[in-house]
Structure 1
């Protein structure tokens, strides 16, 4: 499915490249600023997660997310600089530390780390979708669709790991009054 989606994006890019570029409107500017802050703060969370876990699969997911956040942040920062948008301030990167040396009361559990990544990924997807829908400039809308596609693909692998490890948080099931019985009677 990613190849089909990417093919459509590549086709649309050809149309967008020839479009005249108007200045960004205030909503597009705010969306860029907020997503830049979100990616930079997510980077800090991934660094803290890497300092808290020794689970190989979770480390791999954290590293994948960290790479993706850094990539998207860098692309967005370059775009923002080109468009004259002030960049959000960022927390300082965390130094590497040995997860075994971090006191239990100070480090996150693997479950907390996985759910934190999940929340940040879901927030990023929603932000990208909203920003794409509100963008007037097609190049800006396309940037959001590309970022969202990357987050969706990542989110699928994260959800698979979370299900395998029973880390996924499920809200209570809803059984409406008068709902037909599921037992077939």
Structure 2
């Protein structure tokens, strides 16, 4: 049996996997800090629920990635300090993120996360690493879909230019 056969968790990480897991954990820690801030700014109950979902997902990603790093003798990026709690009413209107802005940030971050997870999955030779990021990919896609549906429902979605007239003309031909 070769070094890359058997239990994937006993296989060594290659340098790309080690860096990707470390970088992903670092990014998740930054996102966690940001999402907690955005949770204080959000006014819509459903949006707060989605932010709660991304907070829980970031905490899971941090926990699982840091566990892999520590198990492989690597030091994870340090946790960021907790933000002090704030009430929406205490945040001045000019300094407050709107629900529309928050929904767009969550959607954009989910989309970027999909790309990153796909790249890590494609580079991984350890099956457990590829599957872990596949799991993250599916969760990010589901959260992104919830954010999209909420944005459509609330009228927060600003679509790019739509090619409606051209499609209508072609359909009439």
- Normalised to the residue count of structure 1, the TM-score between the two structures is 0.81
Please, what is the CA RMSD of the aligned residues? 2.3
Q: Give the 5 Å matches for 1:11-160.
A: 18-19=7-8, 21-160=10-149
Unaligned runs of 5+ in 1: 1-15
Structure 1 residue 157, shift from structure 2 partner: 1.3
2:164 corresponds to 1:184: no
Structure 1 residue 144, shift from structure 2 partner: 0.8
Q: Distance in 1 between matches of 2:64 and 2:76?
A: 12
Cα deviations across residues 6-48 of structure 1 (Å, max 9, x unaligned)?
xxxxxxxxxx974573321111112111211221111112111
8 Å contact 2:9–2:128 — kept in the other structure? Answer: no
Cα deviations across residues 108-147 of structure 1 (Å, max 9, x unaligned)?
1111111111111111111111100100111111111111
Unaligned runs of 5+ in 2: none
Sort the Cα spacing of 1:184 and 1:26 in 2 relative to 1 into closer, same or farther, 3 A: same
8 Å contact 2:54–2:143 — kept in the other structure? Answer: yes
8 Å contact 1:21–1:137 — kept in the other structure? Answer: no
- Normalised to the residue count of structure 2, the TM-score between the two structures is 0.86
Q: Distance in 1 between matches of 2:59 and 2:33?
A: 10
Name the count of aligned residue pairs. Answer: 168
